[in-house]
Structure 1
Amino acid sequence: MADIKPRIRSPYNYVPTEWICALFIGLFGLTTLVHFGQAIRYKLWFLLPTIVIAGIAEIIGWSARLWSSKNPPLLDPFLMQITTTIIAPTPLLAANFIILGQLIARLGSDFSRLSALWYSIVFVTCDLVALIVQAIGGAKASLAVQNGQDPNPGGHIMLGGIAFQMGSVTIYMILAGEFILRYLYNRPIRNVGRAKASPLDKKTSLMFLGLFLSSILIFIRSVYRTIELTDGWSGRIIATQRYFNWLDGGMITLAFFTMNFFHPGLLVGPGPWKSLRSNPDSEPEKHELA
């Protein structure tokens, strides 16, 4: 799809394509509605302030881009979409951290570098820090644009938030991979005299696969946004619509639908879930996964 080169002034340096914006609004609306229903169905209330909120933010962002497609020179929809699409995937990632913590609690924290509780605390806190930094940077850049000033200082703050998030995702995937390998090969980090770990059942394996796919898609998007902001607000990357459509909208849409199909309510079980405050020295309950 070739980018449209407008004859009128636009803060995007292009005019967002109307049908593409409408398509993403529909896709995010569908997946968010399904996630809301799944959260209610399985009584997994943590999904409401995480995945569902992330979906609503994406809908707002793409609605703003649709507004821009009809009124290209307006600053308000541009500022709305740049802020919401930057921060929207952050709550989605927080849900992944919480789900992995639950899996660790059920399979045995002795295979993990961190206990299940601390795993969730550390990575959700990192996600929250990334969210705050991105929001501050977005607000600073938006204010600069409104005042006709250079938005790049705010963009650099946003870049720091995204880079921090990308780093936390990288560490998260490394530790998760180590946990799975240690469990499969029965190589606990702490010797608690436990029996040999049972093989992963099908549902548990599918949940790990879903978390992996979702995290990889968010990671690809984070790499893109990092390169985009490094190139600057007047750079070629941010002014090329197809990059944004595929590497931001496309990746996050796939991440949302991935978690619809690999849903924790179906694969891990309905709420209330097992407490993460289990004693790491006790024998973990095996195969509580529904």
Structure 2
Amino acid sequence: MTDVRKVITLNRLRAQMLDETISPAQKKYYLDLAQWLEQQNIQTAEEATHSIRNTPYYDGAALAKELDGIHLRIKAARELGFKDVEELYTKRYDKLLSKGLKEYAFSQEWIDGYNQAQKLITRHLQEKEIFARIFCNYVRIAIIPEQKQRQESIKNLNKALEDLEKLDVSFSELVCNKVFTQLTMTTEDGLKHFIDFIEKFQKSGIVVDTKDRDQLKKEQKRIGQWAKKNASKLMDVGKLEQWNRASCIAVPSENSVGYDFIAMKEVKG
């Protein structure tokens, strides 16, 4: 086997090890390079290195790796429901593909695009964090009978709604997006009750009690006593629980300080 044949075989092995759904550009690069080398009249690895110097294959591996990194970010943004982030990364992908690594990846336009994406992501994460606070305090208000703790939750709910207003986004906008409503993990009726509660609270600033607090206290006490009585059974059931884990992809961070870990799918474990 000649040196160049070994190089061809190595590139095909590299392509074989890459998942097309995760690294499509890199997989294509190594397959194309192997095919191109087969078509050249060269025998040694040194000749192969020299022959690709003035071809797109010379920096093609770096370009393909960067394209795959953006590809994963597009996919992650889509799954998270960040449409504006997905659109921005799609534009970055297309520009990198058309302009190339040297012209685009080291330009101010590239840096500006990265900063813009970070701002959008930060904003969406802030929205999610505030929405979670709104829902958590709603739940506390609904189930906690102690007046002092309820008042604290009402105060926190007010603060969360104020923080949302500072972002110039309304609660009604967020609940129209399933990305946010899925965070509640509640039923359709439960979600409707949550939305109605918050909308009424925003209008009046008052929490109207519709439940008997004394009855709620009795119910909590009853559940607590039952849990103590059946503690051993609960522990046995807990031991049967199986936890899953996420299969993650490590993508080199654009700011060169490490890796971004993107959860692609849940796997049994």
How would you bin the TM-score normalised by the shorter chain? 0.3 to 0.5
Tell me the TM-score normalized by structure 2. Answer: 0.39
Tell me the TM-score normalized by structure 1. Answer: 0.37
Q: Which structure would you say has the larger Rg?
A: 2
Structure showing greater relative contact order (alpha-carbon pairs closer than 8 Å, 6 or more residues apart): 1
Bigger strand share: 2
